[in-house]
Chains A and B, each alone.
Chain A
Amino acid sequence: MPRFENILAEYKPRADRPWDTAAAAHLLRRAGFQAGLAEVKGAVERGPKATVDLLVDGGPETSRARELDDIERAVGRTEDLDAARGWWLARMVRTARPLRARMAVFWHNHFATSNQKVMSAPLMMKQLETIEARSLGRFEDLLLAMSRDPAMIVWLDGDSNIKGRPNENYARELFELFALGVGNYTERDIKEAARAFTGWHQRQGEFRFFERDHDTTSKTVFGTSGNFGGEDIVKMAIAQPACSRFIAGKLLAEFLCSDPDKELVEALASRLREADFNIGETLRTLLASEAMFDPRWRRARIKSPVEFVVGVCRSLETKAPARSLIDSTNQMGQRLLEPPSVKGWSGHRAWLNSSTVLLRLAGIERLTAPDGGGMLSVTELRSRHGLDNREEVLAYCSEITLDGCLPAEVESKLAALTGKLDVQMRMALRILMSTPEYQMA
Chain B
Amino acid sequence: MTSIHPSRREFLGSGLAATTLLASGLSLPGFLARTARAALASPGERILVVIQLTGGNDGLNTVIPYGDDRYHKARPTLRITPDRVLKLGDREGGDGLGLHPAMTGMKDLYDRGLLSVVNNVGYPNPDRSHFRSMDIWHTASMAPEGRDDGWLGRVVDLTAREGQAPPALVLDDTALPLALKAKTQSVPTVGSIDAFRLQDPGGNVTGAIAAKRAAASDDLLFVQRTLIDGIDNAKRIEAVSKDRRSGTKYPNYGLANRLGQIEQLISAGFGARIYYTSLGGFDTHSKQGLTHEPLLRELSDSLAAFMAGLKERGLEDRVMVLTYSEFGRRVKENGSQGTDHGAAAPMFIAGAGCKPGVLGGGIDLADLDEGDVKHRIDFRRVYAGVLGSWLAIDPGRVLEGRFEPVGVVG
In this assembly, does B22 line the interface, its C-beta being within 8 Å of a C-beta of chain A? no
Task: Out of B131, B205, B212, B334, name the residue touching A343 (CB < 8 Å).
Answer: B131
Known pairs A354-B186, A436-B224 / 4 extra A-B pairs, C-beta < 8 Å: A157-B286, A182-B131, A354-B188, A361-B198
A436 and B195 CA atoms in complex are apart in Å by 21
A355 touches B196 (CB 8 A): yes
Residues of chain B with a CB closer than 8 A to A354's CB = 186, 188-190, 226, 229-230, 232-234
B-facing residues in A342-374 (Cβ within 8 Å): 342-343, 345-346, 348-359, 361-362, 365
Q: Say whether B205 contacts A333, CB under 8 Å.
A: no
Contact B338 A358 (CB under 8 A): no
- B interface list, Cβ under 8 A from A: 54, 128-132, 170, 174-176, 186-191, 195-199, 204-205, 207-209, 211-214, 217, 219-220, 222-224, 226-227, 229-234, 285-286, 334-336, 338, 340
Asked if A302 contacts B195 (CB within 8 A), the reply is no
User: Which of chain B's residues have a CB closer than 8 A to the CB of A435?
Assistant: 208-209
| Interface bits A138-166 vs B (CB < 8 Å: 1, else 0) | 00000000000000000001011010110
Interface members, chain A 361-389 (any B CB < 8 Å): 361-362, 365
A167→B285 contact, CB < 8 A: yes
CB distance from A353 to the nearest CB of B (A): 4
With A350-B175, A410-B208 as contacts: A299 and B130 at CB distance below 8 Å: no
Binding site for B on A (CB under 8 A): 157, 159-160, 162, 164-165, 167-169, 172, 176, 182, 187, 258, 299-300, 302, 331, 333, 340-343, 345-346, 348-359, 361-362, 365, 407-410, 413, 427, 430-432, 434-437, 439-440
A331 to B195, CA, bound (A): 9
User: What residues on A are CB-neighbors of B217 within 8 Å?
Assistant: 300
Which chain A residues lie closer than 8 Å to B336 at the CB level? 157, 159-160, 165, 167
Residues of B within 8 A of A342 (CB): 130
A167 in contact with B230 given A300-B217, A362-B197 (CB within 8 Å): no
Closest to A176 in B: B129
Q: Could you tell me the distance between the alpha carbons of A176 and B198 in the complex, rounded to whole angstroms?
A: 42
The number of residue pairs between A and B whose CB atoms lie closer than 8 Å in the complex comes to 154
Contact A299–B220 (Cβ < 8 Å): yes
Closest Cβ of chain A: how far from B90's Cβ, in Å?
39
Given contacts A361-B198, A408-B214, contact A333 B129 (CB under 8 A): no
Pick from A341, A353, A365: contact of B198, CB under 8 Å: A365
Q: Name which residue of chain B comes closest to A157, CB basis.
A: B285
**A436, B213: Cα distance in complex, Å:** 10
Task: Note all chain A residues with C-beta closer than 8 A to B220.
Answer: 299, 436-437, 440
Q: Chain B residues with Cβ under 8 A from A157's Cβ? A: 285-286, 336, 338
Given A350-B176, A355-B189, A355-B230, A300 and B195 touching (CB < 8 A)? Answer: no
Inter-chain contact B208/A409, CB cutoff 8 Å: yes
Asked if A436 and B176 sit within 8 Å, CB to CB, the answer is no
Residues of B within 8 A of A343 (CB): 130-131
